Structure 1
Amino acid sequence: MYLDETVENDGPYCPKLNRNRWESYSNYRLVLWAWMMNELTVMFCPVSISHSGFYAQAALQMLAVILIGMPLAYSEICLAQYTNSNIFTMWNFFPLFRNVGYGTLFLILLKTIYLLVLTSWYLIYTFYSALDVPPWLSCNDFGNSKCMVKRVNVSVFQHCLEAQILFEDDCGMKTASNCFFEREIGGNCTLELGFYCLFPWKTIVALLTICGSVYVLSIKNERMIQIVVKLAAFYVCAVILILFCVALSTSGTWYASKCTVNWNNYTFVNCYRTITRGFLSVGTGYGIIHFLTRDVAFRSPATMTAISTPLFSLFVSFMLALISFSGIKTMSYYHGEEENVIELGTSPFFAMFASMSEILSYFDALPIWGFLWFSTGFFCLYINFWILYLFLKEFMQINEVARTYTKLSCLFLFVFLLTCTLPFLCSDITATLSDATELIQSFNSLLFSVALYWIYGIHKHTVDIVFMIGIKTNHFLKVTWFLNPILISIILYARCKIIETYEYEESYHIESISTTSDYLILYILLSIYGFIIVAGLVVQMFHYIRSGNFRGLFRAEESWGPTDRVLRRSRRMFVPEIMTREFLYRQVRIRGYYKGKEQGKERSEQRLGELIEDQLAWNAMMSS
């Protein structure tokens, strides 16, 4: 995984490398793209954009990705490729924040539990959408309640809307998609069921299926994830193409409705959430990008992935949002209404499941479209969970006993994850994981950007990149790097101020402490993370003060840089200009003019050929 400290005796210096985890650059790029196809990219962002007018929300997400998310991903990939470190030693450029890695480990554990719950819900919806008549297209399973199928009972739905608008009261009718959502996932169900909702047998079966399949595939062949990622990438592209063509063929897609923007509190909340989830959708703040990139060769074109991969994941998110938006326009066209056609619900997951199942039913009422949508989300989240499992597995195998008994230790890891997941199976408590992971991820990104761009310095960071890939950093990245901490601080402050209580107002109320269960869990999770960060800062400061090197807290360590000792020594003597292509070409031309133009041309071609041979002497992934 790391560079060996060996030097070739003959020819140009070429550090030896162990076998790369991903074998080729294309595999690495696909795995990194799969990590960026997370729950924000395939769930929250597309639904939020489509349900809020599409155009303004899409512009906000694009700006958040380009101005904040992509520069952070670029820097994280550069650090991983430059140092081949882990999520703890990557902070050696600013030792005061070295123990932030333990807070990141806590965040990864929360993320794993959160993804495991969401993936199980997607698996349930994928299974039911494969039935000939999905439950949200019929009221046969909800006979005792006042159920209706919105697409079939148009007049009933219209009268229900009129009653809600005139009398500002619920008409008592529920759609089949709403009834199914409350039965399988639950809308704030701890209020009605207390903590008995912690053991829904279908969700537990889905959890066991997901964990069991990942365990078997990883034990049989650890590189099986590369095959699954390739199949998932092909499947996602095919589904987007099919659903986009189906959306364009529906009669309501071209329905021209009046575009108005109602700037109320709900709209501002959606804007803040879109911006926050936009830059977080790139996957920064977890250290997983660092984990996936750290064994990539020193001069590979991995840094270009930081530009292409976020843009492609943004494109996928926009396409999914456009498909959903076309379905919403079809609903408006079908009902002859421009407002109040979409059910919002009181749960943050209502739009991702109940609303989307209702919207997709308007595509000729065929269950296959719902199956394609939910199965796509399931595969993306399934691979994300797999990547997190690989990280936890590698961290666990630091222990010699875990390395000796690999299968048993992996089985213990899955049992531990399943046990930790059980308390979070209620939808309102799972919403606390959503808020906790977003807040901690944003704060981690803020610490990373402040430490790297303002304290370590943008100039040193750019010199490291020039030394590593031989290309100067453009001015756009430098400007965004400087503004990154400011923008994240503003977004984080706004995000903390707009944590709405409507998601939790119906949660189980604990009388003894006068608070709801979800708020209590949210405060506990944030407090644990805060304790880890503060305790780490105190320990680091005490250690350096005791050693009489207080200034060392704010300076990069001597070991910071490439793992290989020759490359690290070369970095200390490095002048940035000698690695640029312009300088190399200029040197070749100047040396060639001494013996006439013809001889100079021959020497230039010969020298360029030597440079190319030097590049080819590197690893197959070193194609920069």
Structure 2
Amino acid sequence: MTTRGDLQVQLEEDEKGGYEALVIPVEPEVVPTKDAGGPDGRETWGSNADFLLSIIGFAVDLANVWRFPYLCYRNGGGEGTSYYPYIYTGAFLIPYTLMLVFGAVPLFYMELILGQYNRQGPISVWRICPLFKGVGFCAVLVAFYVSFYYNVIIGWALYFLVASAAPNLPWVHCNNTWNTEWCWESTLLGPAPGLNYSTNTSLGWSTTKLPHSPASEYFHRAVLEMQWSNGLHEIGYPKWQLVLCLLLVYTMLYLSLFKGVKSSGKVVWVTATLPYVVLTILLIRGLMLPGALTGISYYLKPELSRLSDTQVWVDAAVQIFYSVGAGFGVHLSYASYNTFHNNCFRDCLITTAVNCFTSFFSGFVIFTYLGFMSHKQGIPISLVATEVYPEAVATLPGSHFWSMLFFFMLIMLGLDSAMGGMECVITGLMDEFHSFFQGRRFAREIFTLGAATVSFSIALINVTPGGIYMFHLFDTYSAGISLLCSALFESIAISWFYGLERFSQDVESMLGSKPGIYWRVCWKFISPSFIITWLDVVDECVKKRNIKSFKNKRGACMTRCMNVVEGKDVYKDREGVVMFGLLYYQPLQYNGYHYPYWAEWIGWSLALSSIMMIPLVAVIQLLQTEGSLKEYKPRVLFSSLVDINSCRIFVKGILEFNVNLFSSFRNFSSNAAMLVTDIQQMLISPCEEN
């Protein structure tokens, strides 16, 4: 028996005279603290409800409240011949449900099991399969990068909340000092004269040839002050009002997190529940408005012929994958604070149901107001889809109250999601380097303060006059392909290397029964294929130019907040797909501004810094492990290996997929094919039996 770090390795002679490595993870010694709630001394949630509200709060944000109804609208069907085009949206729910059941939910459940059974953060949990430890570092980096700009969005909402208390809402009229001659009060005065109302539904909300709305000019010129910057080369100084809002956001995050899950578990009782109260109030008020039922009819009636459109399926996959939030490591971190026998299966189903309900429910709310605005302006709903809540509620009696209520809801939706991302960073690093933090007074409090300070310092660049360009850069590169890689390799590591049988035994020891055949098939085949096949589907759409933008959940989906306050799709100049940026790359743009090459290099460096953690840590693990590369290292690093045949079949399948992908390139040379063959021989050889 040999002990190496967190592993005990015992060599046993097999039938062929060779040696088989039996690897046994060693639990690290943990010194119980005053808050210890588990038998190993690890802190636990105050109640299961705290945990449930935390994962619900992280999963539910503007991707549900704003983007889902829009996707239903865009993917519903064609136009009719009447004055109001019949855009039926229920068809989108069919691919959405299928993607949910066979793709996102199995990955979500896997993360809950992984965290609860091992009771470790997203990095140290990979003691079970050290070769894939880089997946944890990748997830932590992605969560940290997203905090650089995600919290800025909450700061914007806070700014608008304060502005809502002004005697006159500043985004309603065009008579302010920041307004230009292109400003037109379309919501209050009806459509602008002499304009062609042709629509383009490929970009965010349907766009029309309208002048700037008051909300758009207020956001760009009064809040962001973009008129004082021509790009990243003259970014300017932070705007002090936005700095104060951002500082208040980080202060709330710190006070929620510095005591661990005991404190954050109480905060989510407010942040995760109040949005539903606000949505209900907004729905009741919306149903009292004329034209509300017309808007709802647009939302519900399906047009099944739309199911033949690949775009519908891609949008469903994008929405549900990022909405559930798999791959960030947040669910894994939260689950690590559960008691060992907590029913995480029940929690998975409840969270998924609430997530779907929120998306569907918010659609009713949004379309009641769209129907009202269509009725008031006398134009089709397809032409008011560019309009937004602030302008809609401005027409209501007591508009200040409704506006404050709306932005308060945005803040609540953002805070619990931001808390999840920061908790992933804190738990991941403190668990991985537990020997450093162990025994130190106020270790959690000090490290949380340090992480929040670093994130706040970097986020300040986004509240300058040119900060929106940096914001867009962060949003584009922080969590696109990186998040997909994290989820893909997590699924591969558990299903193919740690082994489904062992994983099922872990579930049985916690819940009393093994997972059914549905979960096993999804974990081993469907969920990894869900991510990989997604690449081919989106690839085809990009070639046909069916997709003009690709928005991840914690990134660009959240920037729908910008749509909420400006009245148009801020991504209208962005083409292509983040995950296909290397294959179908086009220069990054924002509002007509073309990013310089050095800025794009910064963006790609940001993206690759998290992705490269996966192979880099794998190489480090290889170098740190003693023994023969062919006979010893694979068995140690893959831990309790699934049978060798499965290893060989998996590697061959992945390599064959790569060969088929590369062969489709016109200029792909024979040298590349030889390289793939060499890699195939190199990778499969260590997995074969002696």
Same-fold call, TM > 0.5?
yes
Alignment size in residue pairs: 530
* Secondary structure of 2:195's aligned partner: helix
Q: Give the 3 Å change call, closer, same or farther, for CA 243–487 of structure 1 in structure 2.
A: same
Is 1:539 the equivalent of 2:620? yes
- Residue in structure 2 matching 1:427, options 468, 482, 501: 468
Measure the CA separation in 1 of the matches of 2:75 and 2:239.
Answer: 32
Percent identity between the aligned chains? 18
Measure the CA separation in 2 of the matches of 1:245 and 1:112.
Answer: 34
Find the counterpart in structure 2 of residue 303 from structure 1. Answer: 345
- Residues 207-222 of structure 1 mapped to structure 2, 5 A cutoff: 207-216=246-255, 218=257
Measure the CA separation in 2 of the matches of 1:342 and 1:41.
Answer: 20
- Residues 269-418 of structure 1 mapped to structure 2, 5 A cutoff: 272-338=314-380, 341-342=383-384, 344=386, 355-361=388-394, 366-394=399-427, 398=434, 399-400=436-437, 403-404=440-441, 406=443, 409-418=447-456
Is the 1:331–1:362 contact (alpha carbons within 8 Å) kept by the matching residues of 2?
Answer: no
User: Deviation of residue 378 (structure 1)?
Assistant: 0.8
- Residue in structure 2 matching 1:28, options 34, 40, 51: 51
Q: Counterpart of 1:151 in structure 2: which amino acid?
A: T
User: Deviation of residue 17 (structure 1)?
Assistant: 5.4
Measure the CA separation in 2 of the matches of 1:50 and 1:234.
Answer: 27
- Residue in structure 1 matching 2:170, options 135, 140, 163: 135
TM-score for both structures, normalised by structure 2:
0.68
Q: Counterpart of 2:620 in structure 1: which amino acid?
A: V
Is the 1:247–1:363 contact (alpha carbons within 8 Å) kept by the matching residues of 2?
Answer: no
Q: Which has the higher helix share?
A: 1
User: Deviation of residue 279 (structure 1)?
Assistant: 1.6
Is the 1:50–1:324 contact (alpha carbons within 8 Å) kept by the matching residues of 2?
Answer: no
Measure the CA separation in 1 of the matches of 2:227 and 2:98.
Answer: 33
Measure the CA separation in 2 of the matches of 1:80 and 1:408.
Answer: 24
* Secondary structure of 2:388's aligned partner: helix
Is 1:491 the equivalent of 2:534? yes
Find the counterpart in structure 1 of residue 7 from structure 2. Answer: none
Find the counterpart in structure 1 of residue 217 from structure 2. Answer: 179
Measure the CA separation in 2 of the matches of 1:193 and 1:277.
Answer: 31
Is the 1:81–1:295 contact (alpha carbons within 8 Å) kept by the matching residues of 2?
Answer: yes
Task: Tell me the alpha carbon deviations over residues 265-310 of structure 1, each in whole angstroms, 9 at most, x when there is no partner.
Answer: xx86675344213122112112111111113222122331011112
User: Deviation of residue 35 (structure 1)?
Assistant: 1.7
- Residue in structure 1 matching 2:501, options 459, 475, 480: 459
Measure the CA separation in 2 of the matches of 1:262 and 1:171.
Answer: 30
Q: Counterpart of 1:148 in structure 2: which amino acid?
A: W
Measure the CA separation in 2 of the matches of 1:442 and 1:111.
Answer: 15
Measure the CA separation in 2 of the matches of 1:76 and 1:428.
Answer: 34
User: Deviation of residue 445 (structure 1)?
Assistant: 0.8
Is 1:505 the equivalent of 2:543? no
Task: Tell me the alpha carbon deviations over residues 96-145 of structure 1, each in whole angstroms, 9 at most, x when there is no partner.
Answer: 21222222221121122232122112212222234443222222324543
Q: Give the 3 Å change call, closer, same or farther, for CA 103–361 of structure 1 in structure 2.
A: same
Is the 1:104–1:286 contact (alpha carbons within 8 Å) kept by the matching residues of 2?
Answer: yes
Q: Counterpart of 1:120 in structure 2: which amino acid?
A: G
Find the counterpart in structure 2 of residue 70 from structure 1. Answer: 105
Measure the CA separation in 1 of the matches of 2:237 and 2:536.
Answer: 33
Q: Give the 3 Å change call, closer, same or farther, for CA 193–72 of structure 1 in structure 2.
A: closer
Is the 1:117–1:207 contact (alpha carbons within 8 Å) kept by the matching residues of 2?
Answer: yes
Greater shift, 296-305 or 363-372, is seen at: 363-372
Measure the CA separation in 1 of the matches of 2:405 and 2:74.
Answer: 20
Q: Give the 3 Å change call, closer, same or farther, for CA 485–198 of structure 1 in structure 2.
A: farther
Q: Give the 3 Å change call, closer, same or farther, for CA 221–25 of structure 1 in structure 2.
A: closer
Greater shift, 544-553 or 528-537, is seen at: 544-553
Find the counterpart in structure 2 of residue 622 from structure 1. Answer: none
Is the 1:280–1:442 contact (alpha carbons within 8 Å) kept by the matching residues of 2?
Answer: no
Q: Give the 3 Å change call, closer, same or farther, for CA 192–170 of structure 1 in structure 2.
A: farther
* CA RMSD across the alignment: 3.7
Find the counterpart in structure 2 of residue 556 from structure 1. Answer: 639
Q: Counterpart of 1:239 in structure 2: which amino acid?
A: V
Q: Counterpart of 1:34 in structure 2: which amino acid?
A: G
Measure the CA separation in 1 of the matches of 2:624 and 2:429.
Answer: 26
Measure the CA separation in 1 of the matches of 2:225 and 2:196.
Answer: 23
* Secondary structure of 1:85's aligned partner: coil
* Secondary structure of 2:325's aligned partner: coil
Is 1:244 the equivalent of 2:283? yes
Greater shift, 113-122 or 401-410, is seen at: 401-410
Task: Tell me the alpha carbon deviations over residues 206-254 of structure 1, each in whole angstroms, 9 at most, x when there is no partner.
Answer: 1111112333455589733233211233312211211121222221112
Task: Tell me the alpha carbon deviations over residues 165-216 of structure 1, each in whole angstroms, 9 at most, x when there is no partner.
Answer: 9xxx997732111212222247899646854266233322211111123334
Measure the CA separation in 2 of the matches of 1:427 and 1:274.
Answer: 28
- Residues 113-132 of structure 1 mapped to structure 2, 5 A cutoff: 113-132=148-167
Is the 1:188–1:428 contact (alpha carbons within 8 Å) kept by the matching residues of 2?
Answer: no
**Mind listing any 5+ residue stretches in structure 2 that lack a counterpart?**
1-26, 32-37, 77-88, 201-206, 550-571, 575-587, 642-690
- Residue in structure 1 matching 2:39, options 13, 16, 41: 16
Measure the CA separation in 1 of the matches of 2:230 and 2:313.
Answer: 29
Is 1:87 the equivalent of 2:126? no
* Secondary structure of 1:136's aligned partner: coil
- Residues 88-107 of structure 1 mapped to structure 2, 5 A cutoff: 88-107=123-142
Q: Counterpart of 1:278 in structure 2: which amino acid?
A: I
Is the 1:96–1:537 contact (alpha carbons within 8 Å) kept by the matching residues of 2?
Answer: yes
Is the 2:184–2:214 contact (alpha carbons within 8 Å) kept by the matching residues of 1?
Answer: yes
TM-score for both structures, normalised by structure 1:
0.74
Q: Give the 3 Å change call, closer, same or farther, for CA 27–153 of structure 1 in structure 2.
A: same
Measure the CA separation in 2 of the matches of 1:22 and 1:442.
Answer: 29
Measure the CA separation in 2 of the matches of 1:164 and 1:313.
Answer: 31
Q: Give the 3 Å change call, closer, same or farther, for CA 288–131 of structure 1 in structure 2.
A: same
Greater shift, 529-538 or 67-76, is seen at: 529-538
User: Deviation of residue 60 (structure 1)?
Assistant: 3.7
Measure the CA separation in 2 of the matches of 1:152 and 1:112.
Answer: 37
Q: Give the 3 Å change call, closer, same or farther, for CA 27–221 of structure 1 in structure 2.
A: closer
Find the counterpart in structure 1 of residue 64 from structure 2. Answer: 41
Q: Counterpart of 1:483 in structure 2: which amino acid?
A: I
Is the 1:190–1:508 contact (alpha carbons within 8 Å) kept by the matching residues of 2?
Answer: no
User: Deviation of residue 509 (structure 1)?
Assistant: 3.8
Q: Give the 3 Å change call, closer, same or farther, for CA 35–335 of structure 1 in structure 2.
A: same
- Residues 152-191 of structure 1 mapped to structure 2, 5 A cutoff: 152-154=188-190, 156-157=191-192, 159-162=194-197, 173-183=211-221, 184-185=223-224, 191=230
Q: Give the 3 Å change call, closer, same or farther, for CA 217–456 of structure 1 in structure 2.
A: closer
Measure the CA separation in 2 of the matches of 1:494 and 1:367.
Answer: 45
Q: Counterpart of 2:624 in structure 1: which amino acid?
A: H
Q: Give the 3 Å change call, closer, same or farther, for CA 373–314 of structure 1 in structure 2.
A: farther
Q: Give the 3 Å change call, closer, same or farther, for CA 163–291 of structure 1 in structure 2.
A: closer
Is the 1:191–1:509 contact (alpha carbons within 8 Å) kept by the matching residues of 2?
Answer: no
- Residue in structure 1 matching 2:182, options 139, 146, 163: 146
Measure the CA separation in 2 of the matches of 1:403 and 1:493.
Answer: 50
User: Deviation of residue 486 (structure 1)?
Assistant: 0.5
User: Deviation of residue 416 (structure 1)?
Assistant: 1.2
Measure the CA separation in 2 of the matches of 1:103 and 1:383.
Answer: 22
Is the 1:181–1:187 contact (alpha carbons within 8 Å) kept by the matching residues of 2?
Answer: no
User: Deviation of residue 432 (structure 1)?
Assistant: 3.5
Greater shift, 311-320 or 209-218, is seen at: 209-218
User: Deviation of residue 262 (structure 1)?
Assistant: 13
